[in-house]
Amino acid sequence: MGCGWRWLPQPLYPQPMESVPSPVSRGANLLQHSSSSYLRSARLQPVRWQPWGESAIAQAQAEDKPILLDIGAVWCHWCHVMDRESYEDAEIAAIINEHFVAVKVDRDERADVDARYQAAVAAISGQGGWPLTAFLTPDGRPYFGGTYFPREERYGRPGFGRVLLTMAQVWRERREEALESAASVMAAIEQNETFSGGGGEMSLALVDKIAGSALAQFDPRNGGFGAQPKFPHPAALDLLLEVAMNRDNEHCALAFTTTLEKMARGGVYDQLAGGFHRYSTDERWVVPHFEKMLYDNTELLRNYVHGYQSFVREDFLRTARQIIAWLDATMTDRARGGFFASQDADINLDDDGDYFTWTVDEARQALLPLALAPADLEVVLRYWDIGDLGDMRHDPARNVLHVKQTLDELATATGRALEELTSLVEAARGALLAARARRTEPFIDRTLYTGWNAMAVSAYLEAARVLRADGPRDFALHTLDRLLAAAWDGDQALNHVIAYGEAPDGTLQTDRGVPGTLDDHAFTIHACIDAWLGSGQMAYYRAAVSLADAMIALFYDPLAKAFDDAAVPAQGTGHLGALAARRKPLQDAPTPAGNPSAASALLRLESLGGRADFRAIAETTLASFAGIVEHFGLYVGSYGLALERLLLDPPQIVVVGSGPGAARLEALAVARFAVNKTVMRIAPHRLAPGDIPEALAEMLLQVPQPQGSGPWVMICKGRTCLPPITSEEDLLAAIEQED
């Protein structure tokens, strides 16, 4: 049973529910020392929890006890159901404390641990998700596991007490079976996570096959891919857009635009405040799992920005602006910089997204201050499909707001002016938001994760350029400055966490103990490149190069010719438990996969700085998966985009100058999305070696500058540059010729 709904009690740091017994006097658990919100939420449970680490493994080996491993997240509803049913139960806690060493892991904090034990439990039970419940040998190898186990036998699942006693008995009396199972599971993890796909041809035909695999699952009626449940797949969407733009593929364009339109009209999108929920439980995007994740919203922001960039659709522009507005208001540390990790779905275990849903009576009450005429009230209720029979199973009176008829369609149906209906709906949105603000807001995990913040920086910088907005650019740079100062030592050590949220005493939690992953490095390199493009400050470019060198040193496997997701341990040390499995991520799940993201970052740097070794490593990395990648369809959009970068000469458009004229030229250059297109604006006084990257400087300085003081444009492709362009008409003609 995968986790959907999320729960966390208020206030900021979770306090135990009234049903939680006081910690047992003998050996109270160690989670009170954790910075993670999820771990701290269990700090008063009677189970003697401890965090993942060497001490837990050492204790298990010294006491010859198996390990009970629980992996969950602060946003995970079923994790907290299992907490309340089992881990807060004195009888269950007594069984665990007697027979096991109990270890609890935050999957957001330790994605490397989660990935491997998810693979293990999938090998054992055929399913994964959160909470993940695994039984390990004392050295950390899994011999049994599942997801959610109820306290008493139901849902076709055995009661958790019986599972615990059985697994303890297996370790005591049938140890050889447990060890044999652990060995086979570890072998399955190695096989599952080690791709051997070299030998395939890297070509645009391979990219088209990946796009075609996604198209085969496209739902033309509702948008998206497959049936229920529906996830957005942002990388696959961008790949379809890339193929649509570069190959004039109408089917790809239709899949992209239909999906973006239907998602933004659905309940999976917060129709009042903006921002997307995690995914939809139905094929029509109406009823979501209500948690909101930072990474979903930053990647979807990019989709809508790219959609507006390519099709100039006002609905895509409006959605992009609303996502930014929600992130700005709810998910950011405005003073210090930084993007928070997630917003919960619920405020307790007894509601199911009630903060976001409405009965007809609640909606009417909220709209009373507007003193709407009956006809106007009917239009508002009709627009968001608010009726007596709602959408939620736990309470059929509750409605998930979604747009069944657009304002254009309502204007046609009612004979009223579109402008009038637009003003009416916006006034109603404000009134409903004001009423919702009086409800208890779901918990926000204020942890700042390095990789997710880097993704947000890139998304904001792209949005700033396309939407011509200074606010997102300035906050993105502010955030990146904090990331580089707090999480990176300037050499090789990049940490997974920039900062945790505030502790109960109001102090800011920081922890440099969780090492950065491949994702953290790759996404931060992209963010630094985007920051250089957005600011012209060479410090960001130099940081990107240093981080790329560190990424190669820490994660690149020269034998397999691909990147591991976690650094290889120093000589004489080893990984704990299943962390010994080498994992080379290829699939987007749900964030862009580490290997294609790393390859794309290196290719971007090579085109700017001319580092041939960066291109060589990127090429061999992508070649390592070329023989198998087409079989992964929707889940390798990032690979397809990286391959486009490799195979197509990167057009570089440099606008030299400042003022309104340069801004107009830049806006023209940005139009139409292409993954490998680089657009930058440079002040004339920075046209000198040392002020711009090496390869770019070499090309720029070979081009004769035009006479006069006005702005001009250089277009280069594959080390060949066109003559300088000074007019908007000539720039449009040159861009169309390049396309």
168-202 pLDDT, tens digit each: 999 999 999 999 999 999 888 877 655 566 778 99
- Cβ neighbors of 339 (< 8 A, separation 6 or more) are 294, 298, 327, 331, 332, 333, 448, 452, 453, 456, 479
Give residue-wise pLDDT tens across range 625-635.
999 999 999 99
| Residue 240 and residue 255 in contact, taking contact as beta carbons nearer than 8 Å | yes
Burial label, 498 (beta-carbon count in 10 A; 0-12, 13-18, 19+): buried
pLDDT of 7: 25
Q: Considering the chain, what is the average pLDDT of its residues?
A: 91
| Any domain includes 336 | no
pLDDT above 90: residue 94: yes
CA distance 548 to 159: 49
Could you tell me which of 74, 77, 69 has the C-alpha nearest to residue 1?
A: 77
* Whole-number pLDDT of residue 189: 80
pLDDT at residue 278, rounded to an integer: 95
- Please report whether residue 476 resides in a domain: no
Phi first, then psi: give them for residue 668, nearest 5 degrees: -65, -40
Segment 596-607 mean pLDDT: 97
Q: What sign has the CA pseudo-torsion 344, 348, 349, 352?
A: negative
Q: Using pLDDT thresholds of 50, 70 and 90, give the confidence band for residue 684.
A: confident
Q: What is the mean pLDDT of residues 685-705?
A: 81
Token couple for 409: 């369609």
pLDDT band at 12 (very low <50, low <70, confident <90, very high): very low
Percent of the chain residues topping a pLDDT of 70: 93
Residue 21 has pLDDT above 60, yes or no: no
pLDDT in tens, 402-443: 999 999 999 999 999 999 999 999 999 999 999 999 999 999
pLDDT at residue 465, rounded to an integer: 95
Asked if 626 contacts 654 with a C-beta cutoff of 8 angstroms, the reply is no
> Average of pLDDT values for 334-362?
94
Query: Would you say residue 381 lies in a domain?
Result: no
Q: What was the pLDDT predicted at 570?
A: 62
The CATH number of the domain holding residue 166 is: 3.40.30.10
**pLDDT confidence of residue 10:** 26
Predicted local confidence at residue 195, as pLDDT: 59
Q: 674 and 244 in contact (C-beta within 8 Å)?
A: no
526 or 34, greater pLDDT: 526
Residue 10 domain-assigned (yes or no):
no
CATH classification at residue 729: 3.40.30
Q: Point out which residues pair with 653 in neighbouring strands.
A: 679, 715
Q: Is the peptide bond before 590 cis (omega within 30 degrees of 0)?
A: yes
Pairing of strands 562-563, 556-557: antiparallel
- 568 pLDDT band, cuts 50/70/90, is confident
Tens digits of per-residue pLDDT, 36-93? 999 999 999 999 999 999 999 999 999 999 999 999 999 998 899 999 999 999 999 9
Which stretch of DSSP H or E encloses residue 681?
A: strand 678-682
50 located within any domain: yes
Q: Does the pLDDT value for residue 5 go beyond 90?
A: no
Residue at a domain's end among 132, 161, 193:
193
| pLDDT at 291 exceeding the cut of 50 | yes
Q: Which of 34-43, 277-286, 537-546, 685-694 has the weakest average pLDDT? A: 685-694
Structural domains in the chain (count): 2
Q: Within a domain: residue 83?
A: yes
Query: Per-residue pLDDT for 322 more than 90?
Result: yes
Domain edge (last residue) among 131, 164, 193 = 193
* pLDDT at site 28: 59
Note whether residue 76 is domain-resident: yes
Tokens of 538: 């060479």
Confidence of residue 574 (pLDDT cuts 50, 70, 90): low
Is residue 498 over pLDDT 90? yes
Average confidence (pLDDT) over 466-474: 97
pLDDT recorded at residue 495: 96
What confidence score (pLDDT) does residue 698 get?
Answer: 83
Span 712-729, average pLDDT: 89
Whole-structure pTM value: 0.94
User: Is a pLDDT exceeding 80 seen at residue 352?
Assistant: yes
- pLDDT over 70 (residue 27): no
Among 193, 216, 250, the domain-final residue is 193
Domain extent, residue 715, equals: 651-738
Q: pLDDT grade, residue 736 (50/70/90)? A: confident
- Please tell me what DSSP assigns to residue 51: E
DSSP string, 459-478: HHHHHHHHHT-HHHHHHHHH
pLDDT average, residue stretch 529-558: 96
DSSP state at residue 16: P
Residue 19: the pLDDT is 31
In-domain check, residue 100: yes
